[in-house]
Structure 1
Amino acid sequence: MKWFEKHPMSMIVVGILGVSLSAIFVKYSQAPSVVTAAYRLLWTVALMLPMVFGSRNFRKELAAADRRTVVLCAVSGIFLALHFTAWFESLNQTSVASSTAIVCTEVIWVAVGFLVVLGGRIPKMAAASIAVTVAGSLMIALSDYSAGGNHLWGDALALAAAMFSAVYTLIGRQVRRGMSTTVYTFIVYVFCALSLCGATFFSGQSLTGHGMSSVVVGLLLAVFSTLLGHSIFSWCLKYFSPSFVSASKLCEPVAASLFAMMLFGEIPAALQVAGGLVTVGGVLLYSRVESGQAGRRAAGKEAARA
């Protein structure tokens, strides 16, 4: 681990590869989307159990969680379950390039939620970046509409997945102020897994009978996309600025599209590529604006202390 601490950029690369492989693994699953998502979360919870219960501090923090915190984590877990289900189904309906580009607009919907629900204010440049992102998504939708089939429905599901993830993120920002990342994510993942299992049963489906390959896909998603993907990005915040980590996540649509081209022969159309670039550019612009705001707030606090 010390080598990685001296070379943290290598972990950024690992994180990008981890999240980029998520869309690829899903394509190989033979199970329904909700079942694939359930496999991923069940494996994730199982892999986290020794870490959480093997630490005295984590056990104490878990036992000390109050009812309000647990309820918020439960709601967060439900929206995370909705995110996974909608996005996995999106990948069954449209291309990896379109789905990953649209789902990465989560940060934009977090900003909209902050404005509408929490009464926040958005600078003009941030509003412009949101408009750019929406324009890029519409270009992708137009390209997929011309292609026919269920691509447009897949784009809509990816958009819904981004919005569900935004709710999960907004709740997390409130809850994590008094909790460690490990305990918070563990509680959320438990409720997410329970929600997905419940949705599977209520929809008349089964967690079994989908072949060993689907179970393996769930394990690969848990290891690479969750633990070596999202968790690695959280670890990298210790060594890099939030804006850099956020910007690095935008490599996911590019890397995932390249994997899809090589493995599935998915060659995106020119308008689809242009829309993806515009969408990612809008998200990157917003990340820079948010980073600038955070820097100014930090400078203001330092000046006030002085």
Structure 2
Amino acid sequence: MNKPLIHPYIPIALGVLTVGLSAIFVKMATADAGVIAFYRMFFSAVIMLPLFLISYRNELKSLTRRDWLYTTCSGIFLAVHFILWFESLNYTSVASSTVLVTLQPIFALAGTALFFKEIITGKMLTAVFIALTGSFIISWGDFQVSGVALFGDLLALLACAFVTAYLLIGQNVRKRISLVTYTFLVYSVSSVALFFYVLVTQEPFFGYPTADWGWFLALAILPNLLGHTLFNWAVKWVSTNVVSIAILFEPVLASIAAYFVLHEKITALQFAGAIVVLTGVLLFVVDIKAIKKKLFAKNT
């Protein structure tokens, strides 16, 4: 496999910055969760369509049945993720929802070990535990043990499981399919799935204020076409575990954005939790680099 033109950690960092705005955009929109998710994916696919048709459509001929199956599943998983997560924001806070939806390392570590036989070290598990502890600290005061907020928390946790499955499939398929083709197909499949979901739930496709259409486009351009596309690019070069642990920055960014945009206060616990998250992420990255050095020295 050829080396990437830039270090994968750079687009991952940019992707986390843009994805961190997702919850804010969703909170600002007045439409139902399914409609927001549909237009996010639909606008993303439409924007990518010219590039795909001009430069990448011939790649469809080389796709195997397995590629089509995996890509279709990936798109459906992504659609379900957005439905569950956007709906969770109607019941719980930005902090709680983003914390739970970014607990991907728990699922990713199990998935990559089971399906890709990747090495999972004790230091990695410790780093993930530290980062997750920081995530819980951020929204400790907002978690509920019962009632409406708990329902929102459960939806966010389920959304986390589905987005991890989406990333794991991407780690497999992206080694054979170009970024543009894979991303366009996934977003298209996701759009179709969400279209039928909106039809079944009888949510209106139109009649929303002008501002909502701006939020739909913002979700498509920033978190999707920049954020998720950059993650899809990165998983060709790095493990899903790296992307998952980096996404733990999202609650930190979401809390900061919520403070300025939604006027949600940043407490001392949230600030302390952000420091703990950063510590866990740095320890995880350092351990991955150490493993790569050992493997390189062993092979040479």
TM-score range normalised by the length of the shorter chain = 0.7 to 0.9
Cα deviation for residue 231 of structure 1 reads 3.2
RMSD of aligned alpha carbons: 3.6
List gaps (5 residues or longer) in structure 1: none
Aligned match of 1:178: 176
Residue 150 (structure 1) aligned with residue 148 (structure 2): yes
Cα deviation for residue 239 of structure 1 reads 12
List gaps (5 residues or longer) in structure 2: none
- 1:85-96 matches, within 5 Å, as 85-96=83-94
Give the letter for the 1:34 counterpart. G
Match of 1:99 among 85, 97, 100: 97
Give the letter for the 1:92 counterpart. N
Q: 1:242 to 1:177 in 2, by over 3 A?
A: closer
**Contact 2:249/2:277 (<8 A) preserved:** no
Give the letter for the 1:66 counterpart. T
Aligned match of 1:27: 27
In structure 2, C-alpha distance between the alignment counterparts of 1:231 and 1:121, rounded to whole Å:
26
Which is richer in helix? 1
**Contact 2:179/2:233 (<8 A) preserved:** no
Q: Secondary structure at the residue paired with 1:210?
A: coil
Cα deviation for residue 90 of structure 1 reads 2.4
Cα deviation for residue 202 of structure 1 reads 1.8
Residue 231 (structure 1) aligned with residue 229 (structure 2): yes
Match of 2:121 among 116, 123, 126: 123
In structure 2, C-alpha distance between the alignment counterparts of 1:205 and 1:36, rounded to whole Å:
11
1:243-263 deviations in Å (ceiling 9; x for gaps): 998776554332322221112
Q: How many residues align?
A: 295
**Contact 1:144/1:152 (<8 A) preserved:** no
In structure 2, C-alpha distance between the alignment counterparts of 1:242 and 1:192, rounded to whole Å:
20
Aligned match of 1:194: 192
In structure 2, C-alpha distance between the alignment counterparts of 1:241 and 1:178, rounded to whole Å:
15
Q: 1:157 to 1:288 in 2, by over 3 A?
A: farther
- 1:51-66 matches, within 5 Å, as 51-55=51-55, 58-66=56-64
- 1:253-264 matches, within 5 Å, as 253-264=251-262
Cα deviation for residue 285 of structure 1 reads 3.2
Bigger shift: residues 125-134 or 10-19: 10-19
Give the letter for the 2:162 counterpart. F
Bigger shift: residues 34-43 or 97-106: 97-106
Q: 1:251 to 1:149 in 2, by over 3 A?
A: same
Cα deviation for residue 187 of structure 1 reads 1.0
